[in-house]
Amino acid sequence: MIQYRPTLDPETPWTNLTNNYPANSTNRTTFTLLGVAAPCSGGGGDSLGAGEETVPAEPLVLPKEEAKAAVPLAIYPPGIDLSGYVILWPDGSTDEWSAELAEKWREVQQEQEGTEIKDSGGESTADSAFFRVFHIPDWAFNVTNYTYDGPTFFPVDFKDYRDMVAHIEVLLNGGPCPHAEFTTHVSGGQTNWGMDIYFDHLTNGTYQIQLVTTLWLNEEIGDNSVYLVLTNLARPIVVFNQVTFPDWNDFIQGDTYTFNAQLANPDTGWWIDVYDWQWNYVNTGSGHTTNGLVSWTWDLYDWLGNNRDDFDTDPYFFAEITFNSLGDGPPITRPTRPPVKGFPDRGEWLIAFQDRWYSDAPGYPPDLQGKYEEAVQAVRGGPLLIGDTAWWHPLKFGTNVYTQAEREQSWTNLLAWIGDLYVRNFYYHGHGRATALGADRHTLNTNGLVTGGVFSYRGSKSTLESWQVSRKTKYNRYRFVFLDGCSTAAGNWPNAFNISKTNRAIEFYENHPKKPRPSVFVGWNQPVGGEGWGTAYNRHKFQSYWIGNWANDADQPSIETALTRANNGAGWVSHQQLWGALRVYGYNGMRMRDYNRKGDWRWP
């Protein structure tokens, strides 16, 4: 994709010149935009007499200390600071940039406003322009050459900016495919990035497949984040699964578990072998189908007669289904999706926060760092008060004390904690965006106040992306998540924790055929804090009050009520402002003590 804009001014939008433009040679692609560049004339400038130098037709600017080519001064927006640059005037004189020179140039611009410049041939000279070119992430192979059966990895060609990917999504027939996830596969020692697509969750047939990639174009988090969405061409594919799992339940929540499958062969014998999480054989069920439907209810006992209903020793299981193929081919074996044990005896809590929040922000009063730490300690105190286990995980933040390696390691450790099968409740405070958390340091205004976050370099690992969490939470359904950072409810974070991005009444969970355990997600749908968001002191009162209201109030309020009471008690912002930005998804009636024990939600 090729984009154009006439100036460097960031307020000037980019215009798409062409999209999905194919390569037209092996190493170099040429694209001609007629009318933008003026015709060449005798060596690039006005022709002078023998021995004379070429004189620029307009002021040029170049760095004073760097060996770079001069560019037209006119491309820089009015008011831009060009300290350290030298101006080359049409008369051959030079000036170092200064406030007086800036004023002189503004006057020249005003005098020339509306004047049309002619080239030597009398034609209008086109404005100077900037261009940028993006490789559109695309499949790394010809996807139309295959018939797809079961889970398949689609490698993606990102060229050299995989680290710029903020979000990636597969579309099937124009709509999002919920059975695809961003992941890596290692082959021959090389890490390949792409999408795992679980075609065995789809009905057989022909689909149009497309890849939508959101690139994050700068390192800043918050209002100054810049994104670009790129979409490759839609292509037809054929899906023909030997086995599908249209009514699959991911969680064991009672004393039995039912395996359901649909076979391409309607008349065949079948058997299902169950293995534990260490791939030790557990038990087998078998039968015969005359319509392709398979259903076997397992009583959770192994082949030796031992009950395998203990979460501590059997957190989840794997299984394989085997059946005869159509015709005279050999038997077919396919993995099923893993039936996961539902919940530990009591869900544990994980409290994570970026630690030096005010220590590295000099514009705030010195006591605010202590107030912030007290507020986060209060969040941890809520579950401890009611007897739940709560783990404490400060994330190393800021470039004044910690090394890059120290910061990145704390985020690596956090991801491991999130995947712990006993952790089912998570609170985070820090920088965030729609598909990722974290930063290396704050961005600050001239008063030393926080305006957002930034990474120290492209590809910094001081972050957690939603696709990473999705991979870690395959085997644990979270009960409660509060991502207390900017824009965390604006993307796919709820789904990363297996929580629906919608509101549900308790009847939805009770009447659902799979009886999923109720769960709730809290986050913000926009940047929060700064001007117009009350005082930092009241912000941290809210941060500590909500968990206290949720755990302590005698009427055992819902999470929504607890958040409202916390804001009222803290005097932070208006009710309308709070709920214009705060979002609660899933079961918004969740109380602090609801459904956090194994026995709280068991179904036959």
Over range 74-90, report the average pLDDT: 77
Residue with tokens 């620029």: 56
Half-sphere exposure of 436 (CA within 13 A, CB side): 27
* CA neighbor of 425 nearest in space, from 500, 490, 476: 476
- Does residue 342 contact residue 253 with C-beta atoms inside 8 Å? yes
Distances (CA, A) of 436 to 98, 411, 422, 461, 597: 41, 12, 23, 11, 29
Lowest mean pLDDT among 28-32, 133-137, 428-432, 514-518: 28-32
At 415, is the pLDDT very low, low, confident or very high (cuts 50, 70, 90)? Answer: very high
- 310-333: pLDDT as tens digits: 999 999 999 999 999 887 788 999
Beta-sheet strands, E only, within 158-241: 165-172, 175-176, 180-187, 190-198, 205-216, 220-222, 227-231, 235-239
Higher-confidence position of 76 and 540: 540
Amino acid type, 16? N
pLDDT score of 46: 37
At 47, is the pLDDT very low, low, confident or very high (cuts 50, 70, 90)? Answer: very low
Q: Tell me whether residue 412 is exposed, middle or buried, using C-beta atoms within 10 angstroms of its C-beta: 0 to 12, 13 to 18, 19 or more.
A: exposed
Contacts of 227 (CB under 8 A, 6+ apart): 166, 214, 215, 216, 217
Higher-confidence position of 4 and 174: 174
pLDDT score of 45: 36
Say whether pLDDT at 477 is over 50: yes
Over range 199-222, report the average pLDDT: 89
What are the residues facing 340 on neighbouring strands? 251, 316
Say whether pLDDT at 483 is over 70: yes
Residue with tokens 């933008």: 36
pLDDT score of 104: 73
Over range 470-494, report the average pLDDT: 93
Residue with tokens 């009583």: 299
Phi, psi dihedral angles at 3 (to 5 degrees): -120, 155
Number of helices and strands in the chain (H, E): 9, 39
Say whether pLDDT at 308 is over 70: yes
pLDDT score of 35: 56
Say whether pLDDT at 367 is over 90: yes
Please report the DSSP string for 96-132 in residue order. Answer: E--HHHHHHHHHHHHHHTTPPPB-TTSPBPPPP-EEE
- pLDDT, averaged across the chain: 87
The most confident of 121-130, 211-220, 591-600, by mean pLDDT: 591-600
Higher-confidence position of 254 and 168: 168
Over range 15-32, report the average pLDDT: 78
Over range 98-109, report the average pLDDT: 74
Higher-confidence position of 217 and 116: 217
pLDDT score of 339: 86
Q: How many residues does the chain have?
A: 604
pLDDT score of 128: 58
Q: What percent of the chain has pLDDT over 70?
A: 90
Neighbours of 205 (CB within 10 A): 10
pTM of the predicted protein model = 0.80
DSSP assigned state of 351: E
pLDDT score of 118: 39
Beta-sheet strands, E only, within 506-557: 520-524
Q: How large is the greatest C-alpha to C-alpha distance in the chain, in angstroms?
A: 103
At 345, is the pLDDT very low, low, confident or very high (cuts 50, 70, 90)? Answer: very high
pLDDT score of 55: 42
Say whether pLDDT at 115 is over 80: no
At 121, is the pLDDT very low, low, confident or very high (cuts 50, 70, 90)? Answer: very low
Sign of CA dihedral 187, 190, 191, 197: negative
Contacts of 423 (CB under 8 A, 6+ apart): 347, 348, 349, 350, 391, 417, 476
- 576-591: pLDDT as tens digits: 999 999 999 999 999 9
- 255-299: pLDDT as tens digits: 899 999 999 999 999 999 999 999 999 999 999 999 999 999 999
Q: What pairing do the DSSP bridges indicate for beta strands 190-198 and 332-335?
A: unpaired
At 374, is the pLDDT very low, low, confident or very high (cuts 50, 70, 90)? Answer: very high
The most confident of 142-146, 460-464, 556-560, by mean pLDDT: 556-560
Say whether pLDDT at 19 is over 80: yes
What are the residues facing 587 on neighbouring strands? 504
- Does residue 3 contact residue 132 with C-beta atoms inside 8 Å? yes
The most confident of 111-120, 155-164, 580-589, by mean pLDDT: 580-589
Rounded Cα distance between 60 and 482, Å, is 53
- Does residue 55 contact residue 92 with C-beta atoms inside 8 Å? yes
